[in-house]
């Protein structure tokens, strides 16, 4: 039975703050975890009117492996295909630091303005153990930085928790509303 959005762990689950371990051998278990990640992302995506699930790290379904999945076309919600990245590493950060909105399946309804590089180079293994490299720009570069942060126990709010002007809440109407830092900080779901 495919994994649903209910399998996605959220803060304050302490596993989200732990580093994931490298994958030495690509077993059927690893392939099944990748499938579970895709299914959980798509289940989450189907439950949201104003958001698209673009990627996930294995830790988000409580599996501490250096494994991420990234949607192939995040601008088309009908495209249900993903690419699997095993042991992904950023080999080079390039371009300018750009501040833009980020959200996370593990931090429901909270968005933040996060500064990230607008170009990255990433190396990983595919499901057959074959090495490959990707150069990503713009939003895709942001996705890689966000997901690889997850494999290192970093959640996007950790990058902005000292910026009082960085936090927003997503309303039922799909609009982001600025929220006071002190109000977000008091939310035990985020900071425990």
Active site residues: 147
Q: Nearest CA to 104 among 15, 9, 191?
A: 9
Residues 123 and 138 sit within 8 Å (Cβ to Cβ):
no
State how far the alpha carbon of 17 is from the alpha carbons of 6, 59, 150, 161, in Å: 19, 9, 8, 15
Residues 178 and 167: beta-carbon distance below 8 Å: yes
Torsion from C-alpha of 173, 140, 191, 67, nearest 10 degrees? 120
């Amino acid at each position: 039975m495919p994994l649903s959005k209910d399998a996605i762990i959220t803060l304050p689950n302490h596993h989200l703050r732990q580093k994931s371990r490298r994958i030495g051998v690509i077993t059927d278990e690893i392939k099944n975890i990748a499938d579970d990640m895709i299914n959980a992302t798509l289940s989450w995506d189907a439950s949201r009117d104003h958001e698209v699930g673009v990627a996930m790290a294995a830790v988000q379904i409580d599996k501490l492996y250096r494994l991420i999945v990234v949607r192939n076309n995040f601008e088309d919600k009908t495209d249900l295909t993903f690419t699997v990245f095993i042991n992904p590493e950023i080999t080079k950060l390039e371009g300018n630091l750009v501040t833009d909105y980020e959200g996370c399946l593990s931090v429901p309804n909270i968005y933040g303005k996060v500064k990230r590089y607008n170009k990255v180079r990433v190396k990983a293994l595919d499901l057959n153990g074959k090495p490959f490299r990707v150069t990503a720009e713009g939003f895709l570069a942001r996705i890689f930085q966000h997901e690889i942060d997850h494999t290192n126990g970093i959640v996007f709010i950790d990058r902005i928790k000292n910026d009082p002007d960085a936090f927003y809440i997503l309303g039922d109407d799909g609009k982001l509303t600025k929220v006071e830092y002190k109000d977000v900080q008091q939310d035990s779901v985020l900071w425990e």
